[in-house]
Amino acid sequence: MVVTGLGATTPLGGDMASTWAGLLAGRSGIGRIEEEWAAGSPVGIAGTLAVEPTEVLDRVQARRMDRCQQIALVAAREAWADAGAPDVDPERLAVVIGTGTGGTLTMIRQNDVLESSGMRRMSPLSVPMLMANGPAALVSIDLGARGGAHTPVSACASGAEAIALGLDLIRLGRADVVVAGGTEACVNPLVLAGFAQAKAHSTRNDEPERASRPFDVDRDGFVIGEGAGVVVLERAEFAAARSARAHALLAGAAVTSDAHHITAAHKDGQVRAMRQALATAGLTPLAIEHIHAHATSTPLGDLVETESITEAIGVHPAVTATKSMTGHLFGAAGAVGALAAILAVRDGVIPGTQNVDALDPRVKLDVVTGRPRRGALTAALANSFGFGGHNASLVFTPAP
């Protein structure tokens, strides 16, 4: 399957080019939360958007959407334009946009209105703005896609699972073009307090840009972030017929579940996801030269993934973890990670993982740290795992 369009808005930039440049520069998009509610909180840092979506979207249109919907639309429009706005039968065009939490900002704000002013003061758009399928629905409306608008909700694996579903839709003959990715905007006191109470979030408030440190021996949790990442996938024959430029090929994908624990990751499910993704791509583990790790910077999660990669693939691939710069984008994380893997394959350069002052001695992987590593790649694998035991792995190879 051909990847013809890329779009993103992240803590590093308001589009794909600036996000990629930030990753290669090793720049951090994580900073202090300036809102009043964060004062005195055990968690006061986050990766917030570099460019506000209201600077890009029509003001009236933006007011009718939750923030996660706004940024999904921004990223999808960029990806669609990057693909050359394919002339496709609307009934052969599908949308798959995943999210972990949906419109939590709207839910919190409208609940505040309800409690302070009563039901009659609530927005009549409350439900369309908070529903999890809102981003996919709005993107499908914007593009006129009538081949289905789907919403995987699988926690932090949502964006990657959306791309995997896009591949399935094309391979099953249900679509010629799929706009797929993930979105998340949940930097709010409810979500932060929940993760703080669970001891999952970093409390390194005094140095936010160094708080997310995957694979480092002193890592103490992830850093919440917001953003969206979207790709345009096309059936190879369709893309060739219109002489479309391809960034890379989505050669394989797999989705598994652990059936183990609601929050604790399990090696078995991750190993099966990677092995099944390789099988669908028709590749052996030795073909994988680069892995974009899920690696959120949690003490346990990074070790489980290390063991999974070692068992499923080996220790030979060059591994990177870009959450060290963007923070953890939850439902968008898998999509943005996929974008980084696509560009690594296309450009022959792997961004370095930042803040690895001392690699955890239990991590036996070839972790790229500091500066980018350059060199042609035959294949890359991108991992994404989520609460609930959701696992998704994607395999990308160079475009012919």
Say how far apart CA 100 and CA 68 lie, in whole Å. Answer: 10
Residues 44 and 33 sit within 8 Å (Cβ to Cβ): yes
- State yes or no: is 186 an active-site residue: no
Catalytic residue among 150, 201, 247, 328: 328
Assess whether 292 carries a catalytic annotation.
no
Instruction: Give how far Cα 238 sits from Cα of 7, 29, 85, 399, Å.
Output: 21, 37, 13, 15
| Residue among 257, 194, 181 at smallest CA distance from 224 | 194
Q: Retrieve residue 194's tokens.
A: 């929940």
In this structure, the chain runs to a length of 400
Of 68, 150, 156, 186, which is the active-site residue?
156
The secondary structure element, H or E, covering residue 162 is helix 158-171
Look at the alpha carbons of 385, 389, 392, 393 in this order and tell me if their dihedral is positive or negative: positive
Place of tokens 């395999």: 395
Is 294 catalytic? The answer is yes
- Measure Cα distances from 54 to 57, 131, 132, 167, 189 in Å: 5, 20, 20, 31, 22
Contacts of 11 (CB under 8 A, 6+ apart): 29, 30, 47, 48, 49, 50, 225, 226, 227, 325, 326, 327
In this structure, are residues 41 and 205 in contact, taking their beta carbons and an 8 Å threshold? no
Is the alpha carbon torsion for 282, 287, 293, 299 positive or negative?
positive
| Rounded-to-10 torsion of CA 196, 298, 351, 72 | -40
DSSP 8-state secondary structure symbol assigned to residue 331: G
Catalytic annotation, pick one of 201, 290, 294, 390: 294
Q: Which residues are catalytic?
A: 156, 294, 328
